Each structure stands twice: as C-alpha cells, then as structure tokens.
Amino acid sequence: MILPEVPVNYTRQSGYPKGSRSGGIDQLNDRFFISAEKFELSDLEMMEDQLAFEGMTVNASNWEVNENRNLVFVNVVYSEPGSAGLSAGATLGKPEYTLDDGGSEIPIDKRKKDGSLWFTNYKTKHNYILAAKSGVSATLSWWASNTDLTISDADSKNYKWLKDAGELPDGWYILKDKTKNIEAVIYPSPIVVATTYFKTYTQAINNVVEVGTVQTPGKTFGKSGQWLVTSCSISQDGRRWVIVTRYQNAPEWDSDYYSS
C-alpha cells in the first residue's frame, strides 16, 4: 500500500495514517514525531505547502509536546481541495466565475477607434439643434441623415449645429430642435468576476493578472467583444489566499492605451 510522504527528520507514529469518508468527501489523518530540539514551527507551513496524497492536500495541522518534553508530535489532516474553507464545488487553483451586468452610460454619439458609431441608428439631430440664419427657412435633406457635425462650406453660411440654444449667434434662430432630449443611454456592460483560492501566498502572487490589460476570462457567459482587467486583489481567507479578478466587457478597448 502506498502511504503519504513522511517529512524529513520526522517519524510516523505507529497506527497512522488513518482515513475516513463522509458525505462523499475523503479525509486522512497522519501523525509524526520529532525531537523537540529539531522542531520548528515553520515545519507546519512546509507540510501544508508540500504534502499531498491521492488528490488531497493538508488543510489543518497541530502540534503537541510529550510529557517528557523531549518529543514533539505533529498531526496533519488531508482533505480534498474544495472541502475545507472553500465554497461548494470550489477547487484550489481553479477560478470560479460570476457575471454581473449593471450597465453603464454611453454617449449616444460615441464612436469606436475606427470612427464608426457605437449606436448605428444615431443621427446628429437627436442631440443637436439645427440653427439657421434669419430669413432662411428651408430644411435641407441632410438634417435627417447626418451623423456628425459636418456641413458643407456653402451650407455653413446659413446653417449651424449647436448643442444648446444659448449658443445662438445674433441674427440666427432655431430652425430644428433636438429630436431626442438625451445625451447618453444605458448600455450593457458585463463584468466577469473570477475568484481563485490558493494554498500559499507565493502561489497567489504568481497568479496575479495585470490590471489594464486586455485578457479574456475563462468564462464569458456567451458575451462577445473584448475584456479589460479592471482590478485584481489578493486577500487571506482563513488559511487560504484568494485572488479576485474583474474583467470589464466592451465592444473594443483602445489598443493605443490598453495592451494585450
């Protein structure tokens, strides 16, 4: 029978290891002893970091001194990742994903890097006034179809796009008011949150994701577009280290400012 590893300088106590199974979860208890002179508290951390057996890792340990105070006995408990201090179904080193979409406000005339509109049905008339010079009453056809503030040199003598009535020059009037009294709309803005548990601080540090980079999370919940890492935090949860990484979705992120 293959048994779990015995740490260097330690001896396994007779009758160990001992295994059990409850609720579909395996657990194993092992017990070692070492001379009190050689015992170091850091040995417990070493065991937690290095010992593993049949897919189980050490999730608890304790020590005690014998009556003669010449030996130290160490107890370690192995269990399956996900069975000690983690959420149901969680596995050490494997991210759990959740999706949140509170939406965000996007200007209705916002454009992508290539100059195309985010909202393809946008028209300038939605949020701009068309002003005309006094005496000019004709509404030209481009008023209904324009998607920017461009007016030809010939027409610019008689027409102007203005954001507000307060911008009207002397001798000008509002020929056409805004057709929609809005400047921004709520646009889907999915956020995927990845939560990953690690056994050690070093493992957590080695798995930090760089904020401000364009990276796709392991699950996108069927959402298209690009994903930007907006935050990545490390915290200690009991005896585990936890990384929480947030990925923000958008049709695109400007590659002049955000690297992959």
pLDDT tens-digit series, residues 95-152? 999 999 878 899 999 998 889 998 999 999 999 999 999 999 999 999 999 999 999 9
48 and 34 housed in the same domain: yes
Peptide bond into 17 cis (omega under 30): yes
Domain contains 2: no
Domain contains 84: no
Residue 87 has pLDDT above 60, yes or no: no
Residue spans of alpha helices (H) in the chain: 42-50, 142-145, 201-205
State the pLDDT at residue 200. 82
State the pLDDT at residue 201. 85
118 and 179 housed in the same domain: yes
CA distances 134 to 50, 160, 173, 178, Å, are 84, 12, 6, 19
214 and 159 housed in the same domain: no
Residue 177 has pLDDT above 90, yes or no: yes
71 and 17 housed in the same domain: yes
Domain boundary among the residues 165, 184, 203 is at 184
**Structural domain of 164:** 106-184
Measured in degrees and rounded to the nearest 5, phi and psi for residue 127 equal -135, 20
Judged by average pLDDT, the poorest of 72-86, 88-102, 158-172, 213-227 is: 72-86
Domain contains 259: no
Residue 82 has pLDDT above 60, yes or no: no
Domain boundary among the residues 149, 167, 184 is at 184
178 and 204 housed in the same domain: no
Encode pLDDT of 43-71 as tens digits: 998 898 888 888 788 888 999 999 899 99
* Percent of the chain's residues with pLDDT above 70: 95
Cα–Cα distance between 108 and 122 in angstroms, integer?
7
Mean of per-residue pLDDT scores for the chain: 90
Closest CA to 231 of 216, 250, 246, 215: 246
Domain contains 195: yes
Domain contains 196: yes
Residue 249 has pLDDT above 70, yes or no: yes
- This prediction's pTM: 0.59
Domain boundary among the residues 184, 217, 242 is at 184
173 and 195 housed in the same domain: no
Domain contains 129: yes
Total number of domains constituting the chain: 3
Domain contains 158: yes
Domain contains 41: yes
Residue 109 contacts residue 161 (beta carbons within 8 Å): no
Residue 81's pLDDT band (cuts 50, 70, 90): low
